[in-house]
């Protein structure tokens, strides 16, 4: 595990669904508005039969008609890890860049962050707007796809982390796999932790952001 001992040479990247949010918002959203019909498409993605762009399109196609008010009322029911605020304070006190990378949708990510008075974090995600016919998607990063992701996190780490800096990645799921080869330090839980363990990839386990804050201040004692 690489450590250069200077906070100004750290760059942090984090997943959102199930990592910052306490649940996988995208999965629950599609499941709720499709009465579970979206799970067939999710299963194909989990078996690598389709890529994540095809998965999102398929999940959206299974949704019943909904209004924007219904959608946002559902989104507003989700919570974030309460210790994320403490982590964010540490990052900002030390002028460490933080990027949020998601293969989910900016629509619910931005709303949940705003609901928790969090702003100023660059979000790289797939884009969705609500129309009378359901979701309309844009995939602004698909041209850089690895072939499996609509929004490949490995691409963003390579692009956003300057030469000579230490990249830190925080995640929990299958959509985080492409981040692993590009990250110098990996914080993982749930599916991602199991994958790292099976593949003998070095990682730091965590349950919540309080644990990450503690480990970072231990490993980089110059953080204030």
Q: Where are the domains of the chain?
A: 7-22+80-127+137-219
User: What is the rounded distance in angstroms from the CA atom of residue 87 to the CA atom of residue 30?
Assistant: 29
| Pair 168, 11: CB distance under 8 Å | yes
| 25-33 vs 68-75: helix crossing angle, rounded to 10 | 140
| 164 CB-contact burial (10 Å; exposed 0-12 / middle 13-18 / buried 19+) | exposed
Which pLDDT belongs to residue 145?
Answer: 79
Which pLDDT belongs to residue 146?
Answer: 86
Q: Please identify, in words, the CATH class of the domain defined by 7-22+80-127+137-219.
A: alpha beta
Which pLDDT belongs to residue 4?
Answer: 41
Structure pTM? 0.94
Per-residue pLDDT of the chain (224 residues; tens, 9 = 90+): 344 444 569 999 999 999 999 999 999 999 999 999 999 999 999 999 999 999 999 999 999 999 999 999 999 999 999 999 999 999 999 999 999 999 999 999 999 999 999 999 999 999 999 999 999 999 999 988 788 899 999 999 999 999 999 999 999 999 999 999 999 999 999 999 999 999 999 999 999 999 999 999 999 989 98
Which pLDDT belongs to residue 162?
Answer: 95
Q: What is the pLDDT of residues 79-109, one digit of tens each?
A: 999 999 999 999 999 999 999 999 999 999 9
Residues 6+ apart with CB under 8 A from 136: 128, 129, 130
């Amino acid at each position: 595990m690489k450590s250069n001992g200077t906070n100004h040479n750290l760059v942090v990247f984090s997943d959102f669904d199930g990592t910052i949010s306490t649940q996988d918002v995208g999965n629950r959203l599609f499941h709720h508005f499709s009465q579970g019909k979206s799970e067939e498409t999710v299963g194909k993605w989990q078996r690598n039969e389709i890529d994540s762009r095809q998965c999102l399109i398929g999940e959206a196609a299974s949704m019943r008609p909904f209004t924007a008010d219904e959608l946002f009322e559902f989104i507003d029911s989700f919570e974030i890890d309460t210790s994320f605020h403490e982590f964010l304070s540490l990052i900002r006190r030390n002028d460490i860049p933080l990027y949020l990378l998601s293969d989910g949708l900016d629509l619910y990510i931005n709303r949940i962050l705003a609901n928790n008075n969090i702003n100023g974090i660059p979000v790289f995600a797939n884009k969705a707007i609500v129309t009378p016919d359901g979701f309309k998607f844009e995939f602004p990063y698909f041209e850089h796809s690895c072939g499996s992701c609509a929004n490949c996190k490995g691409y963003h780490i390579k692009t956003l982390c300057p030469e000579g800096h230490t990249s830190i990645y925080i995640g929990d799921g299958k959509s985080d796999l492409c981040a692993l080869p590009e990250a110098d330090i990996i914080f993982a839980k749930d599916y991602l932790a199991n994958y790292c363990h099976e593949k003998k990839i070095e990682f730091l386990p965590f349950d919540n952001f309080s644990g990450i804050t503690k480990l970072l201040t231990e490993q980089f004692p110059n953080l204030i």
